[in-house]
Amino acid sequence: MASTAGIFDFRFSSVTTFLFLRTHYSVPLVSAFHGMVDACSIAVFPLFKGGSLTILWWVDSLLWCAIAGFLLFRYRREPYAGTANVAPAAVLS
């Protein structure tokens, strides 16, 4: 499973970055999302062994990549899509 570590980094970081930008830089929401992902991994992955664990790992990776791909393709043409049109700080002050 060490060979799929790069896939996990890409899928998780792209979805986390999108969530962070889309929620107006909400660190608590991103922390809650990270905790949810860790809790699900801790609860589900130990239930499987051997080949079943490998299949679960690949299915999980493909689902995360599908989510990241959807977000990238859905918002690729919109400038500052992740930021949800946040006004610059200089305008607010």
Residue ranges per structural domain of the chain: 2-92
Q: What's residue 50's pLDDT? A: 93
Q: How far apart are the first and last CA of the chain?
A: 50
Compute the half-sphere exposure of residue 43: CA atoms within 13 Å on the CB side of its CA. 6
Residue 57's Cβ-count burial label (10 Å; 0-12, 13-18, 19+) is: middle
C-alpha to C-alpha distance for 81 and 73, rounded to whole angstroms = 11
Inter-residue contact 11 to 67 (CB < 8 Å):
yes
pLDDT in tens, the chain (93 residues): 445 555 556 667 878 888 888 877 888 888 888 888 888 888 888 999 999 989 988 888 888 888 888 887 887 766 655 555 555 555 555
Pair of tokens at residue 37:
């992902």
Compute the half-sphere exposure of residue 15: CA atoms within 13 Å on the CB side of its CA. 18
